[in-house]
Amino acid sequence: MKKIDTLSILAEAQVRIRRGQSLEGQAMIGSLAAAVIAYDEAVALLQALPLEGLLVRHNLGLAWMNLGNALQKQGTAEALARAVCAYDETIALLAALFAQEEPMLCNSLGAAWMNRGSVLQKQNSPASLGEAITSHERAIDLLRRLPLADDIAFRRNLAAAWMNHGSALLQAARPPAQVRISAEEALSLVAGHENEDVDFAEVGLKARIVLCQAMGGLLALAGSGEAKAALMTEASDAVDDGLELLSVWAGRGGSRFRPWQAHLFRFGAHLYRAHQPHFLAEFLLESLDPGASSSAMPVTAELLALAREALSLARAEACHRAIPEVGTVGAERLMQTLRDLRMAEERLSALHPAVGGPAPAGSI
């Protein structure tokens, strides 16, 4: 009987895994398909070896993990179903080694659970969302055991697991108070790292978007008084911190986060319009007018359209509220708010006439 050369086969499999990672990094339809083939070949090579000891089992688990990642990026229904199966294989292989309590192994196993949850979120059915939440909880349970001070990747993965958990809760329409807890856990873990590490910044920005949506739900349920004011402060802080972080990375020439800029800006504009319209003009100008703030964002047609819509709606809503008695504090505040909104609209139009255009329908 021919003796199996384990080390040679391991080496061949690792060559295919590295090739798959290189192709996956190109993130094109053809390269992702080629990456899947390379990972499939690595899996086939490793499955021919006896699953004895840590080395073969760990490498096979990572091959399955990489295969799941490439399939998830393909994004078709068939690929997503295969990705769940690939992560299940990873989890089964790595869980069998978990008794060894090796931190890197625990990190890989937690990542597999987290990736599995992300795929299930993309499938977006009631059953898959419930399973996604459970998967993220399994990831959190594993990753929170790691010595976070020993490896920055441990902290980043735990933060991502909490952020994904909040996102899955939100997607499954769970109570906003639960979503808020998960988002805040993620933000506590990325604090102090976001301005220097781009991956921490990505987790932090996504967590703020999740937190903002949770705060919107909580504000809708709140009455008035101190509790609502506290919610408003937390929500506006999340928007301001997120936009400031975007400004930091934009100043370094990065465009990676640009898609999330509009999400935060839209929420901020809605937040002030709905709950503190007297501060809306200030928020818009500080966000878009370099004369008002050194951290103002580069204006795009999308951002300007959002600002003009918010101004138009706020002015219409102010005029349709019950008019306070002339001479009262309420009447003066209303008039000042209307003046500020008109001034902000004129300032933005003057600053950016090329992307101005007509105000949205409903303007007065």
Q: Per residue, what are the HEC states of 205-238?
A: HHHHHHHHHHHHHHHHHCCCCHHHHHHHHHHHHH
**pLDDT of 54-74, one tens digit each?**
888 889 999 999 999 999 999
By mean pLDDT, which of 59-63, 172-176, 288-292, 323-327 is the weakest? 323-327
Task: Determine the Cα–Cα distance for residues 325 and 232; give it in Å rounded to an integer.
Answer: 27
Banded model confidence at residue 363, pLDDT cuts 50, 70, 90: very low
Say if residue 361's pLDDT is above 90. Answer: no
By mean pLDDT, which of 17-31, 54-68, 173-187, 348-362 is the weakest? 348-362
What type of residue sits at position 131? E
The domain 101-174: what is its CATH number?
Answer: 1.20.58
Banded model confidence at residue 249, pLDDT cuts 50, 70, 90: confident
Task: Determine the Cα–Cα distance for residues 224 and 98; give it in Å rounded to an integer.
Answer: 50
CB 299 within 8 A of CB 292: no
CB 28 within 8 A of CB 59: no
Q: How buried is 73 (Cβ within 10 angstroms: 0-12 exposed, 13-18 middle, 19+ buried)?
A: middle
What pLDDT score was predicted for residue 176? Answer: 96
Q: What is the CA radius of gyration of the chain?
A: 25
**pLDDT of 298-308, one tens digit each?**
888 888 889 99
**CA dihedral over 167, 169, 175, 181, signed as positive or negative:** negative
- What is the pLDDT of the chain when averaged over all its residues? 88
The domain 1-94: what is its CATH number?
Answer: 1.25.40
What pLDDT score was predicted for residue 89? Answer: 96
Supply φ then ψ for residue 296, to 5 degrees. Answer: -60, 145
Query: What pTM, to 2 d.p., does this model score?
Result: 0.87
Q: What is the mean pLDDT of residues 131-151?
A: 95
What type of residue sits at position 24? E
**To 10 degrees, the CA torsion angle through 306, 311, 312, 315?**
160
Of 71, 106, 104, nearest to 85 by C-alpha is 71
Domain ranges of the chain: 1-94, 101-174, 176-275
Find where tokens 């918010």 sit: 310
By mean pLDDT, which of 49-53, 135-139, 257-261, 322-326 is the weakest? 322-326
What pLDDT score was predicted for residue 21? Answer: 95
CB 88 within 8 A of CB 116: yes
